[in-house]
Structure 1
Amino acid sequence: MTTALNSQFGIKGQLVFNVDASGLIVAEIDNALGRASLCLQGAHLMSWQPKSQAVPVVWLSRDTKPAVGKSIRGGAPVCWPWFGAHASEAGFPGHGFARTVPWRVIESGSEPDGATRLTLRLVPSDKTRAQWLHECNVDLTVIVGETLRMEMTTENTGATNFVIGEALHTYFQISDIGAIRVTGLEGTEYWDKVGGSNLRRQDGAITFNSEVDRVYINTGSECVIHDDKLARRIHIAKSGSQSTVVWTPWVEKANKMGDMGQPDGWREMVCVESVNAIENVVTVAAGTRHTMIVEYRAESV
């Protein structure tokens, strides 16, 4: 399988496909600007580090256990075609099925600045059709360089409209959760998912001293993770997304998960997710497409 992928889509000195210890196929990107790895199962970007940064920008748990049909802890999981629990089917997987099913490579190439481009398409199956009846194509394009750009497109190829929820559930590498702050959402309303679901409004920068699970709504704003201990800022700019989720599990929930990098790996990550959820779900009309684009940039300060 990797022989055919490398022959058709590999790029000498930039992109190679390998099989990892779990038997999953991983695209390894390493160019003059940055390096990244992406698992074809789930189109799951697992890591990204610009060459200008001594520390990775995207966090991957040291205790994650990649396996066929299982989600990976860390990186940038693709949540689609719903975010959170399914609205009516309790037995369907949280955050949809896209992050645990096969995707196939449909394109690769080099950008003029030396970045590497890779596009994957979700592979429908009897399992996915049992959960999603609509005809569509779902593509994820990842452009790896000094910045990381991710473009997720849902194309409605059927005759009826449908509604999707979606997210790029990105985990960011930080020095310590208690020492960072997130700006860009000041004054924005959010659903507070800790201890219930209450609508609140953000006052000032977001700081962390306990579990945080918030869905900020009606916002396309750029967010910035300020990390003074690592002397950097991570910029998260987006389009086609009107919700932002900010999440840290804190100690009790992290311990229950078991794959957060024990004993304190959870302190070295924060999720700032680009999302369309709750009142910001998207109607994709028949014969049209919707694209959500996110670009990440690390700035040394």
Structure 2
Amino acid sequence: MDATLTPVAGDAVEDIEIHLLLEALYRRYHYDFRNYAGVSIKRRLRQARLQLGFASFSALQDALLRDATVVPRLLDYLTVQVSEMFRDPSYFRAIREKIVPHLRTYPSLKVWIAGCSSGEELHSMAILFQEEGLFDRTLFYATDINPGALENAANGVYALDRIKTFTQNHQKSGGKTSLSDYYTAAYGRAAFDKTLRSRVVFSDHSLVTDAVFAECQFISCRNVMIYFDRALQNRAVGLFRDSLTRRGFLGLGSKETLRFSEHASSFTDFVREEKIYQRRDG
């Protein structure tokens, strides 16, 4: 007797295709998005499929496996590229007023900007450390999984029409200089001074698959973990814990928290309202 096959609903087919696409991306190129939050990753993949001109996720998967040039185009949709300098100025003001006094006690510093995207937060931190007299003793690590984003961060060039917002944020953060001191404007773009990147190591690093690579006094990872599922959030927080010196500091995004992490007991609230935490001694 022939078995009767039950048709699979369209949404279920799409879910299967997405699962296979993410598995292919990981197995072929070692970019792991398999444990990103489902709703978010599905929304981005739908946008990518339409914008890249593929009729289905299966067609996108086929192209991905056979044409490596598809990868950077897809990564632009899967990684967060929206940021601005001194975003959430109160966060940077808290760093100036609450964190910097502690960092001054170290003869040398390592600061990790995890998920640096196109470099707005990196340049913000470099300027803040310059203004606070800590830049020359600090080594910055700027990491991301998107090679194109890292290249943009290393170039430090932004559209001139964004500078007004950057400048306002800088002032609200307690800036001690004029932001214009740090860039040259021409042809509709603002190129930030190369000296701001003279103490920066740019590196491809994944919070999903990679391990600890440095011991830092301060880690800033903002608006990245909101796209992870719970297990992946736990992995990232554990990685940050193991990357911090004792009593080192961790800054998260305004919608992120350690409250539900299995590693929460390794940290104490330091500036609660700005989601800045301190690693415990033990």
> TM-score category by the smaller chain?
under 0.3
Which structure has the larger Rg over C-alpha atoms? 2
Normalised by the length of structure 1, the TM-score is 0.23
Normalised by the length of structure 2, the TM-score is 0.24
Question: Which structure is higher in strand share?
Answer: 1
Question: Which structure is higher in helix share?
Answer: 2
